[in-house]
Amino acid sequence: AGTGYYLRELERQVPVSAVVALDISKFALRRAAKLLPDALCLVWDVWRPLPVVDESVDLLINIFAPRNPDEFARVCREGGVLIVVTPLPQHLQEISDVAGLLNIRSGKDDDVAAALTPDFTLAASRSVEFPMTLTPEDVQNIAAMGPAGHHGASVRMDTLPERLRVTAAFTVQTFHRRRKEDSEKSTPVR
Ligand SMILES: C[S@@+](CC[C@H](N)C(=O)[O-])C[C@H]1O[C@@H](n2cnc3c(N)ncnc32)[C@H](O)[C@@H]1O
């Protein structure tokens, strides 16, 4: 869920009966809880069993975050939807050095699909790219979010232009939960 930004947009645009927001960061979730007063916001490690009963979820969204394919498959009802957004190599490329961002390898979306397709089918995949104009403060915030931020590194604001044009580039993949009998997971031979 991060800070709840995308869940809030979702709530605005589609009727939702119940929202569960998970993130390992209590700081992110505090912000999410303020944005999403009706949601259940839980500090949770996605690698643990998810706090949701089997086949109870209509829609899962996972944006620039780790995925637990087996747990996503367990909680998603048959025919339910999983939306995964992953960055493309050119995402924020113009500032990756200055902000200490990790290089994004190509083919990440293919790896995501390969990990999910035993239980999900890929229904649609769309690459999106657009320019953004950032202020020095935006760039500093991005640096603080990245690995360099953990080591206390910061970008010198006075070395940055007033306005920096950078690329946003990511893939949006939509998956449908397969019927259990159609799962591609091999069943043990007895
Ligand atoms: C790049 S942020 C994206 C957040 C949000 N999806 C968004 O786009 O605003 C990645 C998020 O994954 C969370 N995260 C990292 N590892 C996690 C884990 N093992 N379990 C749950 N959340 C995790 C981080 O705390 C962070 O909020």
Residues 1-11 have pLDDT tens digits of: 999 999 999 99
Give the pLDDT score at 150: 62
pLDDT tens track for 143-156:
887 666 666 556 66
Residue nearest to atom 27 of ligand 1 (CA): 2
State yes or no: pLDDT of 185 exceeds 90: no
Q: How many CB atoms lie within 10 A of CB 37?
A: 7
Cβ of 144 less than 6 Å from ligand 1: no
d(CA 88, CA 91) in angstroms, rounded, equals: 5
Q: Which superfamily does 45-180 belong to?
A: Vaccinia Virus protein VP39 (3.40.50.150)
| 127 or 187, which is more confident | 127
pLDDT of residue 162: 81
For ligand 1, mutation pick of 5, 6, 22, 24 (most atoms within 8 Å of CB): 24
Q: Is 54 in the pocket of ligand 1 (CB under 6 A)?
A: no
Residue nearest to atom 1 of ligand 1 (CA): 64
Tell me how far the alpha carbon of residue 1 lies from the centroid of ligand 1, in angstroms.
7
The finding on whether 68 has its CB within 6 A of some atom of ligand 1 is no
Whether residue 61 has its Cβ less than 6 Å from ligand 1: no
| Phi, then psi, of 27 in degrees rounded to 5 | -70, -45
pLDDT in the model for residue 74: 97
At residue 135, does pLDDT exceed 80? yes
Ligand 1 centroid–CA 158 distance in Å is 30
Q: Which tens digit of pLDDT belongs to each residue from 63-108?
A: 999 999 999 999 999 999 999 999 999 999 988 877 767 788 888 8
Q: Whose CA is nearest to atom 12 of ligand 1?
A: 65
- Tell me the backbone φ, ψ of residue 145, rounded to 5 degrees: -75, -30
Task: Pick 94 or 183 by higher pLDDT.
Answer: 94
pLDDT at 95: 85
- Over residues 15-72, the pLDDT tens digits come to 888 999 999 999 999 999 999 999 999 999 999 999 999 999 999 999 999 999 999 9
When pLDDT is cut at 50, 70 and 90, the band that residue 180 belongs to is confident
pLDDT of the residue at 47? 96
Pocket test for ligand 1, best of 9, 10, 46, 145 (most atoms within 8 A of CB): 46
Identify which has the larger pLDDT, 90 or 188. 90
Ligand 1, atom 8, lies closest to the CA of: 63
